[in-house]
Amino acid sequence: MNEMPYKTYLSENELPRAWYNVRADMSEKPAPMLNPKTLKPVTTEELEKVFCRECVKQELDDTTRYIEIPGKVRDFYRMYRPSPLIRAYFLERALGTPAKIFYKFEGNNTSGSHKLNSAIAQAYYAKEEGLEGVTTETGAGQWGTALSMASAFFGLKCSVFMVKCSYEQKPFRREVMRTYGADVTPSPSMETEVGRRINAEHPGTTGSLGCAISEAVEAAVSRPGTKYLLGSVLNQVCLHQSIIGLETSAALKKLGVEPDVIIGCAGGGSNLAGLIAPFMGERLRGGNACRFVAVEPSSCPSLTRGRYAYDYCDTGKVCPLQKMYTLGSGFMPSASHAGGLRYHGMSSTLSALLDQGYIEAMSVSQTEIFEAATLFARTEGTLPAPESAHAIKAAISEALRCKREGRSENIVFGLTGTGYFDMFAYGRYNDGKMEDYIPTDEEIAKGLAGLPNM
Amino acid sequence: MNEMPYKTYLSENELPRAWYNVRADMSEKPAPMLNPKTLKPVTTEELEKVFCRECVKQELDDTTRYIEIPGKVRDFYRMYRPSPLIRAYFLERALGTPAKIFYKFEGNNTSGSHKLNSAIAQAYYAKEEGLEGVTTETGAGQWGTALSMASAFFGLKCSVFMVKCSYEQKPFRREVMRTYGADVTPSPSMETEVGRRINAEHPGTTGSLGCAISEAVEAAVSRPGTKYLLGSVLNQVCLHQSIIGLETSAALKKLGVEPDVIIGCAGGGSNLAGLIAPFMGERLRGGNACRFVAVEPSSCPSLTRGRYAYDYCDTGKVCPLQKMYTLGSGFMPSASHAGGLRYHGMSSTLSALLDQGYIEAMSVSQTEIFEAATLFARTEGTLPAPESAHAIKAAISEALRCKREGRSENIVFGLTGTGYFDMFAYGRYNDGKMEDYIPTDEEIAKGLAGLPNM
Question: pLDDT tens digits, residue range A247-263?
Answer: 999 999 999 999 999 99
Strand-pairing partners, residue B8, are B85
Nearest CA in chain B to A75: B1
Cβ of A255 under 8 Å from any chain B Cβ?
no
Contact B110 A6 (CB under 8 A): no
Tell me the C-alpha distance between B24 and B47, whole Å: 21
Nearest CA in chain A to B417: A110
Q: Which of A12, A171, A418 comes nearest B5 by C-beta?
A: A12
Cβ of B430 under 8 Å from any chain A Cβ?
yes
Do B147 and B124 contact (CB within 8 A), yes or no?
A: no
- What's residue A316's pLDDT? 83
Cβ of A110 under 8 Å from any chain B Cβ?
yes
Q: What is the mean pLDDT of chain A?
A: 95
Closest alpha carbon to A277 in A114, A101, A70: A114
May I ask the CATH class of domain B18-68+115-235? alpha beta
How far B342 CA lies from chain A's nearest CA (Å)?
23
- Taking residues A107-131, what's their average pLDDT? 97
The CATH architecture annotation of domain B7-14+82-112+236-448 reads 3-Layer(aba) Sandwich (3.40)
Nearest CA in chain B to A151: B378
Predicted ipTM of the assembly:
0.95
How far A110 CA lies from chain B's nearest CA (Å)?
5
- Taking residues A281-285, what's their average pLDDT? 96
Do A394 and A364 contact (CB within 8 A), yes or no?
A: yes
Instruction: Tell me the chain A residues in contact with residue B108 when contact means C-beta distances shorter than 8 Å.
Output: 108
How far A27 CA lies from chain B's nearest CA (Å)?
38
Cβ of A29 under 8 Å from any chain B Cβ?
no
CATH 3.40.50.1100 in chain A, residue ranges? 7-14+82-112+236-448, 18-68+115-235
Residue A242's Cβ-count burial label (10 Å; 0-12, 13-18, 19+) is buried
Whether residue A1 has pLDDT greater than 50: no
Closest alpha carbon to B123 in B451, B15, B115: B115
Do B358 and B292 contact (CB within 8 A), yes or no?
A: yes
Q: What is the pTM of this model?
A: 0.96
- What's residue B310's pLDDT? 97
Do A120 and A109 contact (CB within 8 A), yes or no?
A: no
In tens digits, chain B (454 residues) has pLDDT values of 457 999 999 999 999 999 999 999 999 999 999 999 999 999 999 999 999 999 999 999 999 999 999 999 999 999 999 999 999 999 999 999 999 999 999 999 999 999 999 999 999 999 999 999 999 999 889 999 999 999 999 999 999 999 998 898 889 999 999 999 999 999 999 999 999 999 999 999 988 888 899 999 999 999 999 999 999 999 999 999 999 999 999 999 999 999 999 999 999 999 999 999 999 999 999 988 899 999 999 999 999 999 999 999 988 888 899 999 999 998 888 877 777 888 899 999 999 999 999 999 999 999 999 999 999 999 999 999 999 999 999 999 999 999 999 999 999 999 999 999 999 999 999 999 999 999 999 999 999 999 998 8
Instruction: Tell me the chain B residues in contact with residue A76 when contact means C-beta distances shorter than 8 Å.
Output: 381
Cβ of B374 under 8 Å from any chain A Cβ?
yes
Residue-level length of chain B: 454
Cβ of B66 under 8 Å from any chain A Cβ?
no
B42's enclosing H/E stretch is none
How far A272 CA lies from chain B's nearest CA (Å)?
23
Cβ of B9 under 8 Å from any chain A Cβ?
yes
> pLDDT tens digits for A27-51?
999 999 999 999 999 999 999 999 9
Nearest CA in chain A to B377: A180
> pLDDT tens digits for A53-106?
999 999 999 999 999 999 999 999 999 999 999 999 999 999 999 999 999 999
- What's residue B1's pLDDT? 45
- Exposure b/e, B274-285, CB count within 10 A at least 16 = b: bbbbbbbbebbe
Cβ of B371 under 8 Å from any chain A Cβ?
no
What are phi and psi for residue A117, nearest 5 degrees?
A: -60, -40
